[in-house]
Every structure is written in structure tokens, then in C-alpha cells.
Amino acid sequence: MVTQTPPKSKKNPQLVLDIFIWEATQNKEKDLRSMDGASTKGVLSHLSLLEVQARSRKTQPRQPSRVKELKAKAEALMTQRDQLKAEIETHKSLQKLRASMDKQCTHEEEEEEEEEEEEEEEEEEEEMAEDSENSQLLRLMARHTQLKDLLHAHDIIGGYNVIKTRKGKGLCVSLTTAYNGVYLENYNLEMDLKPTLRISRDNIPPFIPLKSLAEQSNMETDIRTLLDPLSQHLNAFAGRKQQLKLVKELHKSVQVMESNALCSLLVLMFTVPREKTAVLCSLEYTDHTRCLPTRVHFECEDKGLPDSPEWKKNGSLLMETPVHKALITMKKMGDIV
Amino acid sequence: MMEKMSEENIEDVRVLEAQIEHLQAEVAALQRQQQDNHKDITFHLRGHMQDAMSYVCGQKQAGEKEKVLSKLTEEVEELEEDLKRQTQMNGISLNSCTTKTLQSSGRQLVQQLCVSGHCSELVFQVEFQLSEVKKGQRSERTISDLNVVMDTSDLQNFSSFLSGVEESRDLLLFFRTLRTFSDRCDDRRRTFQHFQEKYPSVVSLPGGCRSAVMTLNHPELPGCVLFVHWSVEVSREGRVTPKIELLTKIPEKALQLFPSQAVSGAAEAFQSLLRILGPEAAVESVIMAVSLSQDT
């Protein structure tokens, strides 16, 4: 029989077990029942104690930190919720403030609204007094949104968007064009303010008489004497160009024979139904500030056609209505294919 | 004792987990509400405005208020200056612009705008829908549903233009024409006022300085009146044309005394004078004639 020294006990459950097994193997010839009852009980209870300790070490260390973790998460969510609530409330206040500011501005000229205004102002002031610490800042914020909207409006309605550049030495002007509700090209002018007002750069097409408009204007005293006529020319050009585009898109049966860069001349070919004769139509736009022609002329192999009542009517129609719309009517009337 | 502790912890955990679930639902609902708010472009805040918002919502730090306030004040002052400049350059004064965002997705933005203001003495209110669609690098802007409100009781010739412009949705044409019309009316007012001040005994403005009529008569000849009718016409196309006419109210007896064309042909003669001298000089010569002055 090999005798081994018992492993040193270090209060380690596994070790205690090893000791027990070793003791048991050492005493295997002895009747285990004859072992000291007290020592068996002691070891067993010691074992169960250690077992419980081992189990609780697995779960207990996590439980406090699990609760901590959840508490932290809950607090973070509460902060987030309060923050969102505050933002939404502030947003509401801003909207209300802005609405009352807008009302005041719109009704500045109407006397009957003065009483209402005063009442509203008092109401607003009472509400604001409750939160007077932030009321100044909120008013400023509402005014900021109002100013931004007004500036946006100036841009949308075709304003010149004049910006001072180069520390007051220069000016940048923007000219918006639009036709029938569609915004088209934007053109720009860069100007020097000193020594005298003059145009330094531009992206105006060459067939627009910018130089002569500038010379005829009074731009140094009133820049609008240049900008208004220029805008008129550019918008008329944009309108004619857009009409040509629409003729090509909407009226495939009409052939565009001739057009020029300024869109001041347009020659179209119509086909008369039934006879299938061709009618050549020339539209001259000699007034470059207008989108309508100054002269309409028809040419046809059938010499009598241009003088017929229907075509005299078409001639007037083309003088008074934008060409792409006039063609719709002419098609409806059955004059052209 | 060990088991009691573990029971408490399990209970705590359950309570906390329930609380967290509730909070997460609350936060999600609030975030949805905030997203809706952000769709309103007017209140889409950036830069100093965002800082101000953060401050008001409680992220306060010492000395933060003054900093936020001063930065925002500076920005607001710049915007006020900018607005003054645009107002002066564009000749249009805007009182208010309210926007309502009808649709806001990645590629398309549709807003309903209501803009009110005045151009000199002419008050307007314009309402329209503005759509912005992103097409590659550029964005296409279109106007639809244009509605223009103006007090046209004095502006008979303007109303046909107004209905035309609403139909064609030519918002920019409306403002260009409004401004030109206003300029021509101002020309008339200035000229009328100038002559009334210079020749108070002969010139009178029965309808006020903004009206279209100036009457001329010599105080010693009350029965003979000349009317300068200066109208500013607006075509449906938006062309603004001042039209000046001379009308005479001369009693039959006086006309019989002067059978020559000089009196009865005054209206036509005035048109020639207009072509040669221009409006102000032509009117002045008529005034001089009526006042029977010795000056040329």
C-alpha cells in the first residue's frame, strides 16, 4: 500500500473533498460506519457550507452590479425623456411666440387690431413672466426664425439678393428668372463699388445688351435703373426659351424649322388636316422685353389660306397667347394636326 | 440570509426592467414627435440657434447664458441688416412670411407660403405653394396655386393683370410689374405735387396727390378748366404704360369766341407736345399757358 502524505488543506472545497477521499481510501478496510460520527458530520456540513459559498459567489457578485447597471440605464432614459420633453415644450413656445409676432407685423397698419394686439401682448407677457429667465432668449430665437423666413421670401419673389463683398468694396447681385411658375436660370453680376459703380464680372448671355443697359441707366444713384430693365430682358428671354422647349415637348406634330439663341425668331411648320398642306409660320419677337411676338406671318402654297377667317383668327391668337398654348387651341379647332 | 438577499435583487431587477421598458416607450413616442417638429423647416435649428435651444432645454453651464445670448444677438443683428438691404434693393417691403411644410421627404419639399407686405402705398398679400424637387445636382422649383389679394378699388386696370398672373402662376412677374407700376404712380405723384406747390393758384388736385387727375384753371376764368389725366395702365402681359391726356372743359360761349383750333384741338396738340418735350415739360407748358404768364 502506498502511503502518500495528505494534501495540505487550504480551506479549498475541492481540497477538502480530496482530503475526504484520501481519508476514505486510507481507511477502506475500516468500516466507514465506525468512523468518528462527529468527524463525518463535521466534514459533510463543512462541505455543504462550502458548496453554498461556491454557488453564491457565482450569483451574488452579479446581482448588485446588475441592479446598478439597470439603475444607470433607467436614469439615462429619464434624462433623455426629460430632455426631449423640454425640447418639444420649447418648440411649442417658439411657435406660439412666432405666431403672435407674425400677427403683430401683419396688422401693424390696421387700427382695429390694436386693442387685440395689446391684449395679446399682455397675455404673452404674463406667460413669459413665469419663465422670464428664458423669455428674452426665446423672443430672440423667434425673431431669428422670422428674419430667416422674410429673407427667404425676398429670394423666392425674385429679389436681387444683393450681397456686399470684399469688405464693402464689391457687390454681388443675383437675377432670378421664371416662367409660368417654373423657376429657370439664375444670372449673376459682380460689381465694383469704388471708385465708381461698374460691372466687373457677369454670366449674362452675350445677346442680352448688358453694356447698353448699363450706359442708359442711372445705376450709380439707383441701381434698380439697371437691374429692373436687365431683369425684364432676362425674364422675357427665359420665357421665350421655355415656350420653345414646350413646343418641342408637347407638339411633336409641329416642326421647328428655325430658331435663334435669343429666341427672338421662331419658324414653325404646321400641317393642315385633310388636305395635309404645309403652313409655314414665322413669329418675330422684336421687342426683347416681351414674351409675345410683335409679328406673325403665314406662308402657304394655298395663297388664300392666310387670309381665311380661321387663319386670321389664328394670327391674332398667336399674337396674344404664348405659342405653346396657342397651338393647343389651334389643334382643338382642327386647324392643324 | 443569503437567499433573502437574492430574492430582493431579483425583485429589484424585475421592477427596474419594467420601468426601463416604460421609459423606452415614452422616449420613442417623444422622438417621433420631435421628428415631426423637425419637418417644419422654419424650426429646423442650426448653429447658434441650436446652441440657444440646448441652453433653454436645460443644458445650462455657468456663464453659458451670456455667451449664447450674445452670439445669437449678433446673428440676429446681421439678419436685420440683411433684411434692410434686401428691402431697399428690391423696392418691396415684406411684413410677414409664414410657411407651412406640407410634404418633406428626402427628394421633395412642398411648402405653403403666405407673404404679405407693401410696395410704396400698394398693399398685397400673396399665397402660394412652392415645390422643390431634387434632380441630380440641381433642384427644380415650381409655384402652384397662386392667390393674390390686393385692394384693387383704386386699381381697375390692375385687376385684369392680377387674374391673368394667378392663372399663369407668374409670381415673379407679379412683383416686377407691381414695382414698375408703383414707380410710375410715384412719378405721377411727385410731378403733380411739384406743380401744385409751384403754381398753387392754377393747379389743384381734386382727388389728392395719388389720383390720376390734375385740374388747371385760371382763377379769373372759373368756367374754363383743363384736366390732365395721367393714368398708369397695366396690360394683361404685365406691361406698364403711363398715358397722359389733356381734356378740356370749355363753355360753348367761349368756344364760339375762339373758332380756331387752338382751343378745341388742345387735346391733340398736347399729344404732340408730349412727344417732343416729355411729360413734365409738356404739362408745365400747359400750366404756363393757363396761368397766362409772360414767361416762355
Higher pLDDT, B92 or A35: B92
| Res B262: pLDDT | 63
Q: Using the beta-carbon criterion (under 8 Å), do B2 and A52 form an inter-chain contact? A: yes
| Res A130: pLDDT | 47
Does the pLDDT of residue A114 top 90, yes or no?
A: no
On chain A, the residues whose CB falls within 8 A of the CB of B75 are 144
CA distance linking residue B226 with residue B218, whole number of Å: 10
Identify the top-confidence range among A67-76, A114-123, A286-295, B251-260.
A286-295
What is the interface size between A and B, counted as CB pairs within 8 Å? 209
| Res A112: pLDDT | 45
Average pLDDT per block of 10 residues along chain B, 296 residues long:
61 87 93 86 80 78 80 93 94 93 88 94 94 88 94 77 93 95 93 93 90 89 88 92 89 75 75 89 88 63
Does the pLDDT of residue A107 top 60, yes or no?
A: yes
Q: Using the beta-carbon criterion (under 8 Å), do B19 and A182 form an inter-chain contact? A: no
Tens-place pLDDT, residues A261-281: 999 999 999 999 888 889 999
Inform me whether the C-beta atom of residue A292 falls under 8 Å from chain B C-beta atoms: yes
ipTM comes to: 0.86
Tens-place pLDDT, residues A158-167: 999 999 888 8
CA distance linking residue B226 with residue A312, whole number of Å: 42
CA distance linking residue B255 with residue B249, whole number of Å: 10
The three grid cell numbers given for residue B74, joined into one nine-digit string:
449678433
The three grid cell numbers given for residue A300, joined into one nine-digit string:
402657304
Assign A202 to helix, strand or coil.
strand
Inform me whether the C-beta atom of residue B97 falls under 8 Å from chain A C-beta atoms: yes
For residues B51 and B68, the answer to whether their CB atoms sit within 8 Å is yes
Q: Helix H segments across B201-265?
A: 252-257, 261-264
* Mean of pLDDT values over A55-80: 77
- Which of A90, A105, A183 has the CB atom closest to B96's CB atom? A105
Tell me the residues of chain B between 10 and 49 that have a Cβ less than 8 Å away from chain A.
10, 12-13, 16-17, 19-20, 23-24, 26-27, 30-31, 33-34, 37, 42-43, 49
- Which of A56, A81, A86 has the CB atom closest to B57's CB atom? A86
What's the CA dihedral at B77, B80, B81, B82 to 10 degrees? 120
Bridge partner residues of B224 (DSSP): none
State the DSSP code for B201: T
| Res A118: pLDDT | 57
The three grid cell numbers given for residue A172, joined into one nine-digit string:
454681388
Inform me whether the C-beta atom of residue B241 falls under 8 Å from chain A C-beta atoms: no
Does the pLDDT of residue A94 top 80, yes or no?
A: yes
> Which region among A51-65, A81-95, A201-215 has the lowest average model confidence (pLDDT)?
A51-65
Alpha-carbon distance B233 to nearest alpha carbon in chain A (angstroms): 16
- Which of A98, A140, A231 has the CB atom closest to B76's CB atom? A140
Q: Using the beta-carbon criterion (under 8 Å), do B58 and A152 form an inter-chain contact? A: no
Average pLDDT, chain A: 83
Q: Which of A16, A9, A23, A24 is nearest to A54 (CA)?
A: A16
Q: Using the beta-carbon criterion (under 8 Å), do A144 and B69 form an inter-chain contact? A: no
Give the contacts of A170 (CB within 8 A, at least 6 positions apart): A164, A190, A191, A192, A193, A200
Nearest CA in chain B to A320: B237
Inform me whether the C-beta atom of residue B126 falls under 8 Å from chain A C-beta atoms: yes
Interface test with B, best of A150, A243, A323 (most B CBs within 10 A): A150
Does the pLDDT of residue A57 top 90, yes or no?
A: no
Interface test with A, best of B24, B54, B57 (most A CBs within 10 A): B57
Inform me whether the C-beta atom of residue B133 falls under 8 Å from chain A C-beta atoms: no
This prediction has a pTM of 0.80
Distances, alpha carbon B69 to alpha carbons A140, B74, B82, B103, in Å = 8, 9, 20, 33
| Res A111: pLDDT | 47
Assign B220 to helix, strand or coil.
coil
| Residue A278 backbone phi and psi in degrees, to 5 | -100, 140
For residues A263 and A272, the answer to whether their CB atoms sit within 8 Å is no
**Distance between start and end Cα atoms, chain A:** 123
Inform me whether the C-beta atom of residue B67 falls under 8 Å from chain A C-beta atoms: no
On chain B, the residues whose CB falls within 8 A of the CB of A154 are 83, 86-87, 90, 92, 94
Q: Which of A211, A243, A254 is nearest to A230 (CA)?
A: A211
Higher pLDDT, B237 or A48: B237
| Res A293: pLDDT | 96
Distances, alpha carbon A13 to alpha carbons A4, A55, B252, in Å = 20, 12, 140
In one-letter notation, the amino acid at residue A80 is Q
Assign A198 to helix, strand or coil.
strand
Strands (E), chain B: 93-104, 108-119, 122-135, 138-150, 203-204, 213-216, 225-234, 240-249
The three grid cell numbers given for residue B137, joined into one nine-digit string:
445636382
Q: Using the beta-carbon criterion (under 8 Å), do A141 and B95 form an inter-chain contact? A: no
